[in-house]
Structure 1
């Protein structure tokens, strides 16, 4: 498998150990937070670890299939309740990204290009590419987004688990799908949704194609009744370990000074964006009666894959949350270069 070697194997072993330890400690979302924290520590200790990018290409489509398994006729009937969330999404992005830009530019002293693309709550890879093309500091942008995703995951998981008392372990027996709960036909259909969906998403140039393509096909398969079960829960745990390991290993090569500065700025930026997200979520709650937890998860500025896994682990409406995040990322990727070109000539 491309990109799979001793360094990735070590990272996965560390991630698995971290997940097991977090599970027995009782940490919320243990199979993601454990591997993430363990690999950040390993990276800081200069251990020879590397993110399992090859495995990500396998587990991400599985996550898409899992998200699509929540599509039902009842859910389709609730689409009208999403309108306010979608209407408020652009102003939320403007306010949140604007506040984050001020932090990176004024507090962190980043140059305008780097500050701009570090503050955009879009996909990590896309923002790094766009920022580098515009002349920004690629490493600072990448570290800013890796820190943002990490901090949002930790905050949301701990807040839901410790403050709201919502289980985020993803191992509740009442919601556990065993390997033998699926027939060979089920495995074949869901496997086709993953493989064909990832291919379709790529050629159709869908946003977050490895997730969104399989999600669409899985949604069709479940809505039509071709299959009625989600992928096995063991697959979800494997996905969480993989994603947590990848996030942790993104800090490889960073110095302690980098970590202190960039994580400090990311923590401040995330705190402000999360407060803004709570404010916008409260508007949705007051206007439409949607649960605050669900509205907040839709606006929390984490990565699509990570927020989807969080939502699934917390037994919230993963389809609603993931679709809003897909639209968020699409808006940011499409609008960021345009907005940047408009403001670039202005003094900062």
Structure 2
């Protein structure tokens, strides 16, 4: 781990007790979000509960990085299950369109980050990581591993964007703007046989568990980006394509993984590091709205190029999670294979291409001033 995950613990409270207090707080936060039917209850609920409680009494809260890593391994396994033969077929068929639309969306986000950075006075690296529509966990881990990045600002922008997408995209799809344009030709779910399987987890889950853990640890040792997420995702996909059947995990385990990650992020946040709070929040909401508008504009281009329905195009390009967008696609009769294929492609494109590209660009920018200084001397 590149950064200490929790504040120092008071001698009056042992670490096991502080972990139990943190867990109880997280469960309460998740439970409240569940009762209120708010989005991502077991990620955002524990995150917000840990954030508020730990800032009231920091000494009482602790959450070792190993717990977060366990949650990331579980999420990585779940992502790997999505790389099925139908998904790969859909990705290969529409690869040119996927590359074009993903590149346009990322360039649009980079442009938004330039404007927000100038208005807010926050460094561009921080705003860019907050603006990229990747997985929340992926961007936060990349932010944590990067220098000169305000993790609090990145998290605020990412969380606001995610919640706006989850709330606004369904409202758009069900609005008169899309009336008569939701239906698609094929609404067959793009899931693997493993995802539909009702079989028992054992013994295959043991093999997957060992492989995912070893790949996560090995990836970290060779400094692979977000190793505890990407390592398990890659090995799960390889094993599954090789013939070892993987099974979707029970909801309780995936919820637990979200809690493990959410608590960790909540304890990392320090609102006192958020300069110009009102301005930053306003810019986060504004940039989220502009991003949704941009995704809608690109969806019109995609619908024209590929002759798909307006709803299918928007859900394919919406910078939200594959699970939420696929669920909406199924409900409105959009082309689910297209939606899931696009969302999956963008997710893995950002997973694999953005971290090394991000580090390369800012490493070069850092070297140029150093080289200039050397010439002057």
**Which range, TM-score by smaller chain?**
0.7 to 0.9
Shift in CA distance, 37/253, structure 1 to aligned 2, threshold 3 Å:
closer
Q: Which has the larger radius of gyration?
A: 2
Whole-angstrom CA distance in 1 between matches of 2:69 and 2:355: 19
What residue number does 2:359 align with? 333
Shift in CA distance, 160/102, structure 1 to aligned 2, threshold 3 Å:
closer
**Residue 234 of structure 1: how far off its partner (Å):** 1.7
Query: SS at 2:262's partner residue?
Result: helix
Q: Which deviations, in whole Å up to 9, do the C-alpha atoms of 1:91-116 show, x marking residues without a partner?
A: 432332222222222x2234xxx234
What residue number does 2:95 align with? 82
**Residue 271 of structure 1: how far off its partner (Å):** 3.1
1:70 aligns with 2:96: no
Q: Which deviations, in whole Å up to 9, do the C-alpha atoms of 1:258-304 show, x marking residues without a partner?
A: 5434333333333333433443344334423383454234x45xxxx
Query: SS at 1:202's partner residue?
Result: helix
Higher relative contact order (CA 8 A, sep 6+): 1
Whole-angstrom CA distance in 1 between matches of 2:56 and 2:170: 29
**Residue 229 of structure 1: how far off its partner (Å):** 1.4
Whole-angstrom CA distance in 2 between matches of 1:258 and 1:250: 19
Q: TM-score, normalised by structure 2?
A: 0.69
Shift in CA distance, 264/212, structure 1 to aligned 2, threshold 3 Å:
same
Measured on the aligned residues, the alpha-carbon RMSD in Å equals 3.8
Q: TM-score, normalised by structure 1?
A: 0.74
Map 1:29-40; keep pairs closer than 5 Å. Answer: 29-40=40-51
Query: SS at 2:203's partner residue?
Result: helix
Whole-angstrom CA distance in 1 between matches of 2:250 and 2:85: 22
Shift in CA distance, 188/125, structure 1 to aligned 2, threshold 3 Å:
closer
Does the 8 Å CA contact 1:144/1:263 hold for their aligned counterparts? no
Does the 8 Å CA contact 1:35/1:245 hold for their aligned counterparts? yes
Does the 8 Å CA contact 1:99/1:269 hold for their aligned counterparts? yes
**Residue 200 of structure 1: how far off its partner (Å):** 4.3
Q: Which runs of 5+ in 1 are unaligned?
A: 133-137, 166-174, 301-306
What residue number does 2:189 align with? none
Whole-angstrom CA distance in 1 between matches of 2:104 and 2:116: 19
Does the 8 Å CA contact 1:68/1:216 hold for their aligned counterparts? yes
1:208 aligns with 2:219: no
